[in-house]
Structure 1
């Protein structure tokens, strides 16, 4: 890859409209209110003096997408609108990865971002694929870098093409609404300016930004490695769809993600409200009345069950495990023998369908969603109990 350019940063003729749109994307992302669901990086930092903090960090790999984002961020720095640095994560997966990282860092410095650091990580797949292990290592490094400089925001350069690939992956997995929502434009301290619903940029746009700024970029060899499903989607499936269906496929899939995200947010809020109303909770344990679960809208039931499992200490559930919990809720005639459980869940949690009188300290009453008719008739109410490992009996 050629060395960093030493060009001037002033205007050289009319501003490319794609560059202008990219700048609007970043300005909007930085102005967006913070996601209250997670603490900001700067909130957990007490050792960095206020004058040494930066507003944001660009995660830059040296590829066209992240280099375009770095160039756009540098424009805001030159205008005095923000203090923005950059961090380059070297995954050490290729023989020349250290040189690629050093070149990317030099480009960010040349653009005027500061501070610019290189974080070297070790990728160790443990029961997960290489992509997932690299992603976990990368985000750990980004989190640490943001805390070190007190950055309020970490900027990621995902594009509409990345979003389209994510939506297709969700479709292929047979996933639900949340998965079809794709990559969130904002989550906690992380913001993805190029996924702006009205202004978003695709991969060709980011290359155009780099060209307009006089920047050359690095091509990640993993992008062409067809051993990865995402690479096959990128190099074969999406180009085929564009040829057969016309341009705009990526933008259309990105719009689908935005619509699905709104729907998923609403369903998640409804499910959280239902869960709060019916759940009897104690440390490592959750009890839900079967009658209330059976009355729940089908779109809410798996969300409530997943929340209860998480409270009991379970790891993330697969669709198959969610289905097993739904079978516990269904009438016995529908589930057949064994419909009462137990159902093992990842993380050592066990789910069982029991009568309320056999569930330790869990005694849900009508206000918690127990079938009032059953309670009035003296018929034991059925409940779903999810219990984590080695939990004390709270009756003692």
Structure 2
């Protein structure tokens, strides 16, 4: 008897390996597929439905309706129906309100992840599977490079973080979409994927094809390999920074550290300490860039009596009495970047 088409097999193999790791830590647990109704997430849903039972796991799905396009509720309902047709249970549709902080892409992502986390906890899920592919990872690396956000941003998306898992990061988008077609599934195409007003769409349709044309095939795979390597390095440096953290909580909120203590570690660790402190003070990770960390570093290395450094999310930092002090000012709203 012949096996499944090659694309279907490739997606199933990737999902099988990931579910085996989930099952090792939580046998019999519930895994949820985040399914938008797009080709990538439908292919992931189909593979998860096929592989979960053999892994000793239960499999369901969550569809997030962002409400950003006319007819979004109908699209969400169709995605949920497709998941039920694949045998996933439970299947939940949740509507979110998308804010404006972090731009349209960032705000939608934040709302989606918050909804997935809430549903996972409500249902007692042990994992949430996301359908990001190798090509998505390459796009993320290029976007991080353009922002100048440092090694952590160039490390791309993690394969695992908390409940979130990305089993398809090593599988090309073309393979995943071929699997969706081979499974006979009808996919929805998000209009945002073709909207060149959005940075990711420009990278997908303009930048990566140009790089492939100029440098030859395999650019996306090379960027994904770079991300894996940089993630290992960044994880190691972040662990060292956490162990060497010299910031202490201050009464009334915020934190501070002696300038002399911050100047002692190598630059790679010092900058991570500054970033950790900025995040702890309320700066959103997606809005905190290398330029912000540079401004904090200048308070240590190029001190000329300058005023406070304003950070995203209403946080600010200033040098006072030989200490670097970070505070959050909730009434300020979104501060002007330095």
Instruction: State the TM bucket, normalised to the shorter chain.
Output: 0.7 to 0.9
Counterpart selection for 2:32 from 52, 57, 63: 57
Hey, what's the Cα distance between the residues in 1 that align with 2:198 and 2:73? Answer: 23
Counterpart selection for 2:123 from 149, 171, 175: 149
Mapped pair 1:306 → 2:275: yes
Asked if the contact 1:154–1:191 (Cα under 8 Å) also holds between the matched residues in 2, the reply is: yes
Unaligned runs of 5+ in 1: 1-11, 35-39, 43-49, 355-381, 391-396
Instruction: Specify the alignment match of 1:364 in structure 2.
Output: none
Q: Please list the CA deviations of residues 233-254 of structure 1 after superposition, one character each: whole Å capped at 9, or x if unmatched.
A: 1111112222232221111111
1:165-314 aligned at under 5 Å gives the runs: 165-195=139-169, 200-275=170-245, 278-283=246-251, 284-311=253-280, 313-314=281-282
- SS of 1:57's equivalent in the other structure is strand
Hey, what's the Cα distance between the residues in 1 that align with 2:125 and 2:267? Answer: 41
- SS of 2:171's equivalent in the other structure is coil
Asked if the contact 2:19–2:55 (Cα under 8 Å) also holds between the matched residues in 1, the reply is: no
Counterpart selection for 1:130 from 89, 104, 108: 104
- SS of 2:168's equivalent in the other structure is helix
- Please give the TM-score of this superposition, normalised by the length of structure 1: 0.75
Instruction: Specify the alignment match of 2:92 in structure 1.
Output: 117
Q: CA 1:151 to 1:299, structure 2 compared with 1: closer, same or farther past 3 Å?
A: same
- Coordinate RMSD, CA, aligned: 2.6
Counterpart selection for 2:82 from 107, 112, 120: 107
- Please give the TM-score of this superposition, normalised by the length of structure 2: 0.87
Instruction: Specify the alignment match of 1:338 in structure 2.
Output: 305
Counterpart selection for 2:59 from 76, 84, 90: 84
- SS of 2:244's equivalent in the other structure is helix
Unaligned runs of 5+ in 2: 331-338
- SS of 1:288's equivalent in the other structure is strand
Q: CA 1:290 to 1:72, structure 2 compared with 1: closer, same or farther past 3 Å?
A: same
Asked if the contact 1:314–1:349 (Cα under 8 Å) also holds between the matched residues in 2, the reply is: no
Q: Please list the CA deviations of residues 216-269 of structure 1 after superposition, one character each: whole Å capped at 9, or x if unmatched.
A: 211111111111111011111112222232221111111011011001001111
Asked if the contact 2:62–2:91 (Cα under 8 Å) also holds between the matched residues in 1, the reply is: yes
Q: Please list the CA deviations of residues 175-225 of structure 1 after superposition, one character each: whole Å capped at 9, or x if unmatched.
A: 200000111111110000001xxxx11110111211222222111111111
Considering only CA atoms, is the larger Rg found in Structure 1 or Structure 2? 1
